[in-house]
Structure 1
Amino acid sequence: MKFVIALFSAPHAPSARRALRFSEAALAEGHEIVRVFFYREGVYSASQAVVTPQDELDVAAQWRAFVTQHNLDAVVCIAAALRRGVLNAEEAQRYERQAVSLGAPWELSGLGQLHEAAQQADRLICFGGD
């Protein structure tokens, strides 16, 4: 089965960890993840600026390692990222900001990427949100 995973909540939320564990289990069972899409507060899971306290799980780092290890297509919604100050080098330069908080393995793109992936997959699974 082909899955698209959409994460709407911040890395400290329980749903961010559930999304990661579901994704790990899906791959372990031989399924495919077409794309992982980070939207709303979920963009913080891709930010290099987030610092997790030492006594908490660093779910953002776990996402980064998972995406890298499995060479997944990981897209961060550009509108949600800009609104939250999560910028790659190109957007930081465009908006004349000093801080770059988004790098590999993440790609900034629009909601169209979520729609496109949903068309290619058998299931769109969403975690978090209101």
Structure 2
Amino acid sequence: MRYALVITGPVYGTQNATSAWMFAKALLKADHIIDSIFFYQEAVSNANMLTSPANDEHNLVEEWIKLSIKENINLNICVSAALRRGVIDQEHAREGIYNFHPQFNFSGLGALATSLLTCDRVIQF
């Protein structure tokens, strides 16, 4: 089956993003396909490359990046939600300061709508 994941929880502070990452890994292990992962609302913090967990904590941003590269999965971030919450790419940077990890993609809700139409299942965390 083809899946799209929608994540609304922040990188840390709730279980949403971690549960989504664990679910994604389980889907792939079961030979399902993940077409895209869409980060919305507070979940845009998953694209913040300045996130720096303690050495004994799980680095979820790094895990999303590894998953994306290994499995060729698009990590889509709602551009409006990101900019509103201070997750800024080079294009929108002021004085050259940005924190948006380049493995993620800014996209609009159109990317989410496409996933809703083309995937067998859409799961929200």
Please report the TM-score for the alignment, with normalisation by the length of structure 2. Answer: 0.92
CA contact (8 A) 1:10 1:43 kept: yes
CA contact (8 A) 2:11 2:45 kept: yes
**Corresponding residue of 1:72:** 73
SS of equivalent residue, structure 2 residue 96: coil
Determine if the alignment matches structure 1 residue 11 to structure 2 residue 16: no
Aligned residues: 124
**Which consecutive aligned stretches of 4+ in structure 1 deviate over 3 angstroms post-superposition?**
none
Separation in 2, partners of 1:103, 1:90 = 13
Determine if the alignment matches structure 1 residue 47 to structure 2 residue 48: yes
**Corresponding residue of 1:90:** 91
Q: Which moved more, 1:55-64 or 1:4-13?
A: 55-64
In the TM superposition, residue 50 of structure 1 has moved relative to its aligned partner by: 1.4
CA contact (8 A) 1:43 1:81 kept: yes
Gaps of 5+ in 2: none
Separation in 2, partners of 1:39, 1:3 = 17
Tell me the percent identity.
Answer: 30
Alpha carbon RMSD of aligned pairs, Å?
1.2
In the TM superposition, residue 76 of structure 1 has moved relative to its aligned partner by: 0.5
SS of equivalent residue, structure 1 residue 89: coil
Q: Which moved more, 1:32-41 or 1:50-59?
A: 50-59
Gaps of 5+ in 1: none
SS of equivalent residue, structure 1 residue 98: coil
Q: Which amino acid aligns with 2:44?
A: V
Aligned mate of 1:116, from 101, 114, 117: 114
Separation in 1, partners of 2:82, 2:37 = 15
In the TM superposition, residue 24 of structure 1 has moved relative to its aligned partner by: 0.6
Separation in 2, partners of 1:84, 1:126 = 20
Determine if the alignment matches structure 1 residue 56 to structure 2 residue 57: yes
1:58-100 alpha-carbon deviations (Å, 9 max, x no partner): 11211111112111111100011001111111122xxx35322
Separation in 2, partners of 1:24, 1:34 = 13
